[in-house]
Amino acid sequence: MRDYYRVYANIDLDAIYENVVNAKKLTKPGTKLMAIIKADAYGHGAVEVARTLDDVADAYGVAILEEGIELRQAGIDKPVLILGYTPKALYPAMIKHDIATAVFTWEMAQEISQTAEALGRTARIHIKLDTGMSRIGFKQDDESFETICRIAKLPNISIDGCFTHFARMDETDKTWALKQFERYQNFVKRLEEAGVTFPVKHVSNSAGIIEMPQVNLDMVRDGIAVYGMYPSEEVDKSKILLRPAMELKAYVSYVKTLEPGVQISYGGTFTTTRETRVATVPVGYADGYPRALSGKGHVLIHGQYAPILGRVCMDQFMVDVTDIPDVTQGDDVTLVGRDGDGYISIEEVANMAYSFNYEFVCDVGKRVPRVYYRHGQKIETKDYYPEFDI
């Protein structure tokens, strides 16, 4: 494994495992858990996370077929559900890899049925209901009712479940979430009374798992909480212990002393007012470190906070280390995580960048290798670029 990275993300697999165990403790016995590992497990590495959760997760949720096939090619054979749209051209591959998809139109179901029939296979689907997100899904009207009843009669299709997605579950006021749940329950009951059965009903996301056990049904979908982050600041954090799984680290690439009156970075937005020691960090917005942190973010060096000077560049940025003794090339830099008594959370960085925790971890780019730890020991490194001789 390489140990000379300019920037890297440490991923604590024990934290991921414990976060899911703690989520399961909030559900009733027998409740299944789908771990959401779309977007490369929110930037943490989908295959590595899926393997870590093998004995606690019952299924995996992804956003696109390619994410599901990645799991299958890694030998992961648990149920996989594509939560969003799957183009018609991908139906054969989806069926061959035994990956389920959300269905929310008659045309989708009909095409999937015909494709499965031609392949001599059975396709797996979950009916998606739109109860208040206004994104994808069947409305709860007579037309949708009749369509779903027709879908249930199509050959070579297995309806494995029915789900919806909460739009405002992470808010203190649960009025809208309860309204969505009521719509879902009433419509599913109507369908079941008409003979349409759903082996697995699922609506609950991370916020629902934490705060509303009454909506946890047959299965819950654990997303952001898997990675040790709370869905929002409004969620009651006392109900579950979550441990962030990602740290973002780098090294100092250069240190110089500037006299007063010197401009720093693009646009000259910062000018020194005293003799200033400036350290360059070889990380930028191309790595997913937000440009919006220009002139207001900070990092940790030697356990002390070093403020960002001027604009964050594509591949580098500068920090003030005047008041941090003995900073030199090669010193550790903590962008997110702990260094001594200092700590920078994902939420802190994201908030300063006018973003939020979900977006920040998903934006950590492919130039940033993931270094995996279990029981405090480095076990694996995931590189998005090939190894080479040095």
CB 68 within 8 A of CB 99: yes
pTM: 0.96
Are 147 and 279 within one domain? no
Number of domains in the chain: 2
| Position 390 in a domain | no
Residue (of 179, 169, 181, 180) closest to 235 by Cα position: 169
Q: What tokens appear for 390 in the block?
A: 């040095």
Q: Is residue 314 part of a domain?
A: yes
Residues catalogued as catalytic: 38, 266
Tell me, yes or no, whether 169 and 267 share the same domain.
no
| pLDDT above 50 (res 1) | no
Same structural domain, 178 and 250: no
Q: Give the pLDDT confidence score for residue 4 in this predicted structure.
A: 62
Q: Are 221 and 34 in contact (CB under 8 A)?
A: yes
Same domain, 276 and 351: yes
Domain annotation covers residue 81: yes
Check which CATH number belongs to the domain holding 364 and give it.
2.40.37.10
324 vs 32, 276, 319, CA distance in Å?
A: 50, 11, 11
Q: Are residues 173 and 257 in the same domain?
A: no
Structural domain includes residue 150: yes
Give the distance from CA 152 to its chain's centroid. Answer: 32
Label residues 124-159 b or e (16+ Cβ within 10 Å = b).
bbbbbbbbbeeebbbebeeebbebbeebbebebbeb
282-335 pLDDT, tens digit per residue, is 999 999 999 999 999 999 999 999 999 999 999 999 999 999 999 999 999 999
Domain match, 255 and 327 both:
yes
Instruction: Name beta bridge partners: 37.
Output: none
Angle at 365 between CA 363 and CA 366, to 5 degrees: 150
**Which of 196, 226, 256 is the last residue before a domain boundary?**
226
Nearest to 154 by CA among 131, 185, 127, 190: 127
Q: Is residue 20 in a domain?
A: no
- 387, pLDDT greater than 80: no
DSSP code per residue over 336-378:
EEEETTEEE-HHHHHHHTT--HHHHHHH--TTS-EEEEETTEE
Structure confidence by residue, pLDDT tens digits, 185-224: 999 999 999 999 999 999 999 999 999 999 999 999 999 9
Predicted local distance difference test score (pLDDT) of residue 389: 66
Average pLDDT in the 355-373 region? Answer: 97
Could you tell me if 132 and 213 lie in one domain?
yes
Same domain for 122 and 180? yes
Length of the chain measured in residues:
390
Is residue 153 in some structural domain? Answer: yes
Domain that holds residue 313: 246-382
- Note whether 66 and 186 are same-domain residues: yes
- Say whether both 217 and 286 belong to one domain: no
pLDDT tens per residue across span 56-80: 999 999 999 999 999 999 999 999 9
Residues 191 and 261 in one domain: no
Q: What is the CATH number of the domain that holds 127?
A: 3.20.20.10
Do 123 and 36 fall into the same domain? yes
CA distance 45 to 125: 25
